[in-house]
């Protein structure tokens, strides 16, 4: 898998002791980031968005979930322009060199 960027995933976990969600920044050194422009004609009119496809090597061990946030580069705090993860796919099949998590964010 070709990787060209670093990313930070902001993982939310519920802390039962504090009775609230806590966010942890997970820095990932090698990831693939592909941005594309999508448009659609809906009942409400024309809608256009940038959609990002991210491929993350699967050897990392943390909970990747819909609703978490992701930003390009190394960040300690979640930036305002961080994207929201819409879907996570488990692509651990075929050659082990190609195993990865497929993430869609907007």
Per-residue tokens: 87: 């879907």
Q: Kindly state the average pLDDT of the residues 84-105.
A: 90
Measured distance CA(11)–CA(25) in Å, rounded: 6
Nearest to 86, CA basis, from 63, 97, 70, 62: 70
Range list of β-strands (E), the chain: 5-15, 20-42, 45-57, 69-72, 83-91, 100-105
pLDDT tens profile 41-62:
888 888 888 899 999 988 777 7
Mean pLDDT computed over 5-18 = 92
Provide the whole-model pTM.
0.82
Residue showing tokens 């809608």 = 47
The pLDDT-based confidence of 88 (bands split at 50, 70, 90) is very high
| Of the candidates 19, 37, 25, 33, the residue with the CA atom closest to the CA atom of residue 77 | 25
Beta bridge partners of 24: 11
Q: Exposed, middle or buried by CB within 10 Å (0-12, 13-18, 19+), for 45?
A: exposed
């Amino acid at each position: 898998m070709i990787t060209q960027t670093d990313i930070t995933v902001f993982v939310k976990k519920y802390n039962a002791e504090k009775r609230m969600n806590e966010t942890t920044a997970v820095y990932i050194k090698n990831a693939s980031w592909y941005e594309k422009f999508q448009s659609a004609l809906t009942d409400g009119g024309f809608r256009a968005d940038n959609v990002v496809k991210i491929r993350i090597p699967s050897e990392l061990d943390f909970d990747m979930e819909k609703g978490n946030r992701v930003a390009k580069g190394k960040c300690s705090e979640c930036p305002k322009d961080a994207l929201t993860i819409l879907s996570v796919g488990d692509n651990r099949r075929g050659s082990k060199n190609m195993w990865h998590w497929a993430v869609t964010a907007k």
